[in-house]
Structure 1
Amino acid sequence: MRKILIFGNSGSGKSTLARQLADSEGLPHLDLDTLAWRDEVPPIRQAPAVSYQAMQEIIGQSDGWIAEGCYADLLAMLVDECNEMIFMNLPLEDCLRNARSRPWEPHKYESEAAQNANLPMLLEWIRGYDEREDELSRAAHQRLYDRFDGRKQMVTANSPAGQS
């Protein structure tokens, strides 16, 4: 049974690919955005140990799963349990275009207007991917990918229809 980590920059197509695989293979889809943050305004990162406990509760309920997100620190906690990695390593312009055209994500925003109001911040965040040096950077994702000895794939472009 597949146990897949999907990671990359915001707007790279992680969630789209994870949903497609989850639907086609009947696997639970774990969106790390839902576990990485405390439910506060402004949002504050959850302690990694708390996020890890929540991840274990979810993935422990199935022989296979898909976990996706941009948090190399949280993904690293699952490396020993996964058997496959997909690094969505798209050019920044593709990520920016995808972010501008993404549908409303009701599990993240209370309204489409709230999501649209956050778009300028998201686009700036995407632009900083190569400059960041934290667990949300291209460098951290590359290290995670390079250290993994199992089945892995690097995706550098979305499919022509905009799907990964």
Structure 2
Amino acid sequence: MSRIVVFGNSGSGKSTLALAMSADAGLAHLDLDTLAWEPTTPPERKALAASEAEILRFTESHPDWIIEGCYADLIALVLPLADELIFLDLSTEDCISHARARPWEPHKYESKEAQDANLEMLISWIRDYPTRDDSCSRPAHRALFDAFTGKKTRVTDPQSNPKSD
């Protein structure tokens, strides 16, 4: 059985890695962005209990899975079920470069233009990652990584391939 969690800053490559691993190993894939937010404008986080219920439905429906996201509060809910953790701990400059090159994410934006209109806000969010004190911050991610006792990998080089570990 494979139950993998991939997390890190925005632009660190979580979705790219998770989708590749999902396809390679036949794992069900869950992007936490799809269940962390209410469909409102401006967006608001869902209640933690509502997101937890959706995560549990997913994990109970799939024996093998990969879950990815930046929400330490949501990841903490699934860590007791995970057997592997991958922390994409890239530099902010690498993450910004990835964000600028990101293809359209139709599950998040109605068009590439709408996604690009959000780019400067995303870059600001990425830059604040090391110093924020919320559940999507580097300190929160580092605490998750340090506390996990199963197989874990911390990736700091965007050219390395954690799939081969």
2:52 corresponds to which letter in structure 1?
Y
**How large is the RMSD of aligned CA atoms in angstroms?**
1.6
The runs of 5 or more residues in structure 2 that have no matched partner are: none
Give distance in 2, aligned partners of 1:141 and 1:44: 21
Give distance in 1, aligned partners of 2:34 and 2:157: 26
Matched, 1:38 2:38: yes
Equivalent position of 2:145 in the other structure? 145
**Secondary structure, counterpart of 1:158 in structure 2:** coil
The CA deviation at 1:159 is: 2.1
Count of aligned residue pairs for this structure pair:
163
Which is helix-richer, 1 or 2? 2
| Residues 94-113 of structure 1 mapped to structure 2, 5 A cutoff | 94-113=94-113
Superposed CA offset, 1:116-164 (max 9, x none): 0000000000000011011110000000000000000001122279xx9
Give distance in 2, aligned partners of 1:142 and 1:120: 25
Runs of 4+ in 1 over 4 A off after TM superposition: none
| Residues 82-93 of structure 1 mapped to structure 2, 5 A cutoff | 82-93=82-93
| Residues 150-161 of structure 1 mapped to structure 2, 5 A cutoff | 150-159=150-159
**Secondary structure, counterpart of 2:30 in structure 1:** strand
Q: TM-score, normalised by structure 2?
A: 0.96
2:46 corresponds to which letter in structure 1?
Q
- % of aligned pairs identical? 52
